A and B are shown apart, each in its own frame.
Chain A
């Protein structure tokens, strides 16, 4: 995986559109999101993933990419015959506020005496028929919507302005964007004209037991520890909007779980993996630490 604005050399050395997961990514479905996604992919409707950070959006896309198969001929059922044509490539772009349309589409680069066109990640995904995952899409510049719109309706077309080309997306291509409604300021809301081109899958942190299971699996810690971590996360998430911008993500829980599995004392592990990353506000830190110390004995 890579992002568009990282060093240019990475474009050359990394065939973006060829990235695919080799092992099955671990994902525990919380509800029917898998079925919804499959249906969307089958019917070529782009997907909007909503949810707080670290709740598994990216992992979900990876999981889906692994399980979905590019339809070869007339086969419509993507679930069967996984070995046949391997899974879908996945192009992930982490959007940031300086990400422009040309970062996605591609640009001419000077090389010696000539200019060379380099496809951007989106173009590559369109050509390869991959899933293109634009993470935190509202962060990107508004001109990116110009690209998203024609790609997301029935046309499935990517205009490459600088080359005066239109690219028709290959079968299998699916645009997936993610969006964290709680986290952005009101200025960075997704426009209605954009929103209404997607089916939306809402994510939230999984319920306690599921989350514990995930944490246990990912971190290798005991189930009891994982359950306590999940319980603690539940408590910390109660502080959202009250001193905390975001609750403790599953990802942080996994980090904490790993630290504990490595032998770090639980309270300390939570401090370094959860409390400190979450906030710089001393008071809030103290409160969370009190929650931690209430749940974990040392």
Chain B
């Protein structure tokens, strides 16, 4: 019977392509052993039915047959029927889908139970929209299901399907690509993250479907940057935000995830919680907050971040834009709050303060800079985190964040600075070989094998004109320069610290705290070889910690002498000469101590009666070789036969920083500021310098880099010479500049001047706050052309020039003004007296204000004249004429005629002038007028592109005398780029601030509204630029200046009204009248 059925089935299949039959045969082979006969019959019937269902259903049937075998290996036949019923149902929708389902079945079944089949299928079905493309997408669903289901439970499959479905409504290609990626993507994700990932993906698909592919590609990677536990939370936040912000949702996700990777993982939870709070108010703010978190976290701990966020949240509640700018770190308030909360102290915030502090202490002009700047110069200093000085500038670490409060951290800076300033104030670099110490016996007589302090410098310098620094000569005496240098450092630092603590009692506490901290960090002495241990102990003693000295008891006597020597330097009146003498004594002593392992069990705290003995006993005590010359022998018993070990320098003490007296003296010598004050700077050959450098132990070149000595010291040398030349160059430049001022006719070529950068805040009216340091203004001198232009312009306007001059000259007599009717004054005002007398006779009581006073009004005016040289000034003015209307003349025919006549004359002479040409002409005329009256003035131009490139041209600076150079520069005034007014105005304000005058005027001449790249939310927005410009003008007024805006843009009224509000402005409708109008306006303004 079975065979018959099979035969029938074969018969039935014959009407289909032979491939089906083949599939059937192989399937039959597989299932026959498993199925009962009646089951087999049913199976055959089902297969046939499927095949016969519709036109292409044979393919599905073929898949059915193929799947049957593997499926039956997993489930019972009954189950399989149940399963297949689902596929059969799907036939109604599309045989192709049905086929896909059968095809996937064997692989899916391990992950699904039979009752779930329906759900699984119906999800696939939901993708099918009756079109060919949707069909293939749906089929793809079944095809990838086996790879997806291991990662995603069916219950969550819905999320993916919805996502794909949503994408499909935009692009099937995209949907299909994403579906294809899905298994790979899901496998990269942690189990718990998968559903949230898809949920957010759904939102992305919804709000910004084009980003979906990127999301699938980069999302998992991005997500991995977020702390494991926090990922679902982060995704749901991103989703919540994306719902609010639409297309920005996805970029926010990527960027904020990236940002979080830069933050310690353990605060991710806290950050997210804060972001979630923000998201309730503004999604943008929440994500900006996360994006800013790395920078914020650098400064603040999580608790303080919360406080910072709370502050921003308050702003956010008042103003969305304000809050968002706050979290974008584009608001001055945000920075302030952060600064207030952070305990870190940044050098750039306090450098000016410290500079003045050090200047006060030392009385010389010291600079304060970050240590990095010194190390970057490559002249011998290498540690960028420790304080140091090279004689003219004090270098400090970039920031200090050592203690929990700002005050404490600042006090660290203060100690650093005080110690370095102390080196300058108390003369650490002023060692002179020919001076005698005051507290120590001059060791000259005690010289053995070349040691000693008395090398006559003159003799040495006499040879071949070589120069040496005194410090170098000093170190030259010692065989072991390193040891000598270490000892000198300890002694000199002890001296400085002692004086500082004596002189500046107020910093004592902070000093002691750092000393304590320094000593706590030191490596144990025990185990160090003898000489090294002794040096280490000396250093400890120098930190005021006698109690922390550890030394073998048996050798106490050997330690006592050096300590006594060191202690002597603490006495009042000790100089650097004493330090040198003490160093020589210590060296003498220590060089006799073999640097061998101390084989002693008896390391103990070293108790010394030294505090009770400030004078350190007799001098003879300190003299090596006198009395205790048998030192070496007495030492020997304790270190039997052990080997001499190489000597290592003690660890540096952080608050004392680098001490390089030799190099400093060298630098000073090279710069011509000889510390010894004797010789003028001697030109040094490269070879001599190189030799000098190679000898210097401070530049431990070999430790620094893997170059051979000659090469690396050559590099130092180059840097050093560069540094020195630079300083000399500056000096020469300064002299030259002075010469310019005094003679005013130096015809030497101007030095090319690099653009100097200035930073200014920009006002964001939405946030009602400044964006800190937002714009960079690059100041540069205007190019020079020829002065012909100037002369020609004057010639062209001869009459106007004379007129203006006359008008301006008339301003002068106004300088004396008689003030009448005062109760007191210089003399009687005759009119008032007569009046008073008449009234008195008439019996009327009258006022007795009978005096006058001549008030001498010194004309003390400074004006900064700011020209708009944006590209739009390139326009010919013809266009403006076409727009001209008659009503400008107030129906006054004379005005019209004069305009017409003037215009005709102009047109005949110069066809097609541009706005810039008229600006230039007006400038020429104004300069001519200003020269008459003697006001201080500057002429500037501005343009630029973007916030970090605001170009500011100086045609004539405030204090520059007028001359040919100025004329030449005016010739080259030319249109450049955009119009970012705010920063240019602010820079002008700065210029005016540095000018001494009673009346300060800022005159702005423009040809249109302010606009620039990024000067506003988008290209079309005008509000932002206007508000910023307005704020800049207001700032000018706050500074007591008179801002005045002048525009030749006929549409200027709209925005000028807004920009200037209650400030004066004028629209020069007839641009050609500008050269005439400008001086007139100026006269009115200052008259």
Cβ of B352 and Cβ of A296 under 8 Å apart?
no
In the bound complex, do residue B504 and residue A287 qualify as a contact, i.e. CB atoms below 8 Å apart?
Answer: no
Residue of B with least CB distance to A243: B356
Chain A contacts with B in 231-252, Cβ cutoff 8 A: 231, 235-236, 238-239, 242-243
Residues of B within 8 A of A238 (CB): 359-363
- What separation, in Å, do the CA atoms of A296 and B508 have in the docked complex? 10
Cβ-defined contact, A110 with B850, below 8 A: yes
Asked if B356 and A295 make an inter-chain contact with CB atoms under 8 angstroms apart, the answer reads no
- Tell me, in angstroms, the Cα distance from A187 to B856 when the chains sit together: 14
Contacts A231-B503, A283-B352 hold; do A242 and B365 have CB atoms under 8 A apart?
Answer: yes
Residues of chain B within 8 A (CB-CB) of A231 are: 503
Q: Determine if B826 and A297 form an interchain contact, defined as CB atoms under 8 angstroms apart.
A: no
Q: Is the CB of B359 within 8 A of A290?
A: no
Instruction: Report the minimal beta-carbon distance from B516 to chain A, rounded to whole angstroms.
Output: 18
In the bound assembly, the distance between CA atoms of A235 and B425 in angstroms comes to 11
The answer to whether B826 and A290 have CB atoms under 8 Å apart is: no
Cβ A294 vs Cβ B365 within 8 A: no
Would you list 12 pairs from A and B whose C-beta atoms are within 8 A, ordered by A residue? A110-B850, A187-B858, A235-B361, A235-B363, A283-B353, A287-B357, A288-B360, A294-B357, A294-B414, A296-B506, A297-B505, A297-B506
- Whether B506 contacts A292 by the Cβ 8 Å rule is yes
> How does the 8 Å CB contact mask read for B466-484 relative to A, with 1 for contact and 0 for none?
0000000000000000000
- Whether B356 pairs with A293 at a CB distance below 8 angstroms is no
Return the chain A residue nearest B848 by Cβ. A110
- Are B360 and A291 closer than 8 Å at their CB atoms? yes
**Interface assignment of A165: CB less than 8 Å from any CB of chain B:** no
Indicate whether A295 sits within 8 Å of B506 (C-beta atoms), given known contacts A102-B826, A242-B365, A290-B353. yes
CB neighbours of A293 from chain B (8 A): 506-507
Does B509 contact A297, Cβ atoms closer than 8 Å?
yes
Among residues of A, the one whose C-beta sits closest to the C-beta of B509 is A297
> A298's closest neighbor in chain B, by CB?
B506
Contact with A along B870-883 (1 / 0, CB 8 A): 00000000000000
0 or 1 for each of B841-881: is its CB under 8 Å from A? (1 = yes): 00000001010010010100000000000000000000000
Give the distance to chain A from B835, nearest Cβ to Cβ, in Å.
Answer: 14
A241 to chain B, nearest CB (A): 10
- Annotate B345-374 by CB proximity to A: 1 below 8 A, 0 otherwise: 000000011101101111101000000000
| Cβ-defined contact, A239 with B506, below 8 A | no
Measured between beta carbons, the chain A residues less than 8 angstroms from B503 are 231, 295
Q: Which residues of B contact A102 (CB under 8 A)?
A: 826-827
Min CB distance A222 to B, Å, is 14
Cβ-based interface call for B418 (8 A): yes
Fill in one digit per residue for B1033-1059: 1 if any A CB lies within 8 Å of its CB, else 0. Answer: 000000000000000000000000000
By beta carbon, the residue of chain B nearest A141 is B856
Per the CB 8 Å criterion, the residue count for chain A at the interface is 30
Bound Cα distance A102, B822 (Å)? 15
- In the bound assembly, the distance between CA atoms of A292 and B507 in angstroms comes to 10
User: Is the CB–CB distance between B360 and A287 below 8 Å?
Assistant: yes
Residue B711 at the A interface, CB < 8 A?
no
| CB of A185 closer than 8 Å to a CB of B | yes
Q: A290-B357, A294-B361, A294-B418 are in contact. List 18 more A-B contacts (CB 8 A).
A: A110-B848, A238-B361, A239-B359, A239-B360, A242-B359, A283-B352, A283-B356, A287-B353, A293-B506, A293-B507, A294-B357, A294-B504, A295-B504, A296-B505, A297-B506, A297-B508, A297-B509, A298-B506
B996 interface neighbour in A185, A284, A288, A291, Cβ under 8 Å: A185
Most buried by B among A290, A293, A295: A290
A59 CB-CB contact with B under 8 Å: no
B353, B356, B503, B507: most-surrounded residue (chain A CB, <10 A): B356
Which residue of chain A has its CB nearest to the CB of B411?
A293
B356-A287 in contact (CB<8A): yes
A185 to B995, CA, bound (A): 13
The answer to whether B356 touches A284, judged by C-beta atoms less than 8 angstroms apart, is yes
Q: How far is the CA of A137 from the CA of B418 in the complex (A)?
A: 41
Closest chain B residue to A228, Cβ basis: B505
Within B477-522, the residues touching A (CB, 8 Å) are: 503-509
Cβ of A100 within 8 Å of any chain B Cβ, yes or no, is: yes
Q: Which partner residue on chain B sits nearest A238 by CB separation? A: B363
Q: Which residues of A contact B508 (CB under 8 A)?
A: 297
The chain A residues found within 8 Å of chain B, CB to CB, are: 100, 102, 108, 110, 141, 185, 187, 228, 231, 235-236, 238-239, 242-243, 267, 283-284, 286-288, 290-298
B520 to chain A, nearest CB (A): 24
The answer to whether B353 touches A286 (Cβ under 8 A) is yes
| A288 contacts across to B, CB distance below 8 A | 356, 360
The chain A residue sitting closest to B364, CB to CB, is A238
- B850 CB contacts on chain A under 8 angstroms: 110
Residues of B399-417 whose CB lies within 8 A of A: 414
List, in ascending order, chain A residues with CB within 8 A of B856's CB. 141
Question: Contact check: which of B362, B507, B996 meets A294 at CB < 8 Å?
Answer: B507
Is there an interface contact between B505 and A295, defined as CB atoms closer than 8 Å? yes
Q: A102-B826, A298-B506 are in contact. Are A290 and B414 (CB under 8 A)?
A: yes
A141 to B856, CA, bound (A): 10
Chain A residues in 8 Å Cβ range of B504: 294-295
A239 partner residues in chain B, CB cutoff 8 A: 356, 359-360
Closest A residue, CB atoms, query B996: A185
CB-defined contacts of A108 to chain B, threshold 8 Å: 828
A-B pairs with the 3 shortest C-beta distances? A287-B356, A294-B504, A238-B363
Set of chain A residues within 8 Å of B828, measured between Cβ atoms? 108
Instruction: Collect the chain B residues with CB atoms within 8 Å of residue A296's CB.
Output: 505-506
**What's the Cα separation between A236 and B826 when bound, in Å?**
42
> Given A100-B826, A238-B361, A242-B365, A294–B506 Cβ distance below 8 Å?
yes
In the docked arrangement, what's the CA distance between A235 and B503, Å?
12
| CB of A235, distance to nearest CB on chain B (Å) | 4
A187 to chain B: closest residue by CB: B858
Chain A residues, CB < 8 A from B353: 283, 286-287, 290
Q: How far is the CA of A189 from the CA of B188 in the complex (A)?
A: 82
On whether A242 and B356 interact (CB within 8 A), knowing A235-B361, A291-B361, A294-B414, the answer reads: yes
Which of chain B's residues has its CB closest to A100's CB?
B826
CB-CB < 8 A to B352: which residues of A? 283
A-side contacts of B363, CB under 8 Å: 235, 238
Distance of A288 Cα from B853 Cα, bound (Å): 43
- Give the shortest distance, in Å, between A225 (CB) and chain B (any CB): 11
**A102-B826, A287-B353 are contacts. A235–B360 as well, Cβ < 8 Å?**
yes
Contacts of B361 in A (CB 8 A): 235, 238, 291, 294
Closest to B827 in A: A102
A242→B509 CA distance, assembly (Å)? 29
Cα distance, A183 to B858, chains bound together (Å):
20
Residues of A within 8 A of B359 (CB): 238-239, 242
Q: Which of A102, A185, A267, A292 has the most CB of B within 10 A?
A: A102
Q: Which residues of the partner chain A approach B362 to less than 8 Å between Cβ atoms?
A: 238
**Residue of A at shortest CB range from B361?**
A235
Chain B residue with minimal CB distance to A292? Answer: B506
CA distance A267 to B505 in the complex (A): 12
Which of A236, A238, A243, A288 has most B Cβ within 10 Å?
Answer: A238
**Distance between Cα atoms of A11 and B1075 in the complex (Å):** 58
In angstroms, Cα B507 to Cα A295, docked, is 7
A235 and B504 CA atoms in complex are apart in Å by 11
| Alpha-carbon gap, A126 to B354, bound state (A) | 53
Closest partner residue, chain B, to A293 (CB atom): B506
Chain A: minimal CB distance from B367 (Å)? 12
Q: How far is the CB of B339 from chain A (nearest CB, A)?
A: 14
Instruction: Give chain B residues whose Cβ lies under 8 Å from the Cβ of A100.
Output: 826, 853
Within the assembled complex, what's the spacing in Å between the Cα atoms of A38 and B856?
39
Distance in angstroms between the alpha carbons of A100 and B414 in the assembled complex: 51
Q: Looking across the interface, which residue of chain B has its beta carbon closest to that of A286?
A: B353
A-side contacts of B365, CB under 8 Å: 242
CA distance A105 to B939 in the complex (A): 48
Instruction: List, in ascending order, chain B residues with CB within 8 A of A286's CB.
Output: 353
* Cα A298 to Cα B996 with chains together (Å): 41
| Assembled-state Cα–Cα distance A187/B858 (Å) | 11
Q: Give the residues in chain A near B858, CB-CB below 8 Å.
A: 187
How long is the Cα–Cα vector from A43 to B827 in the complex, in angstroms? 36
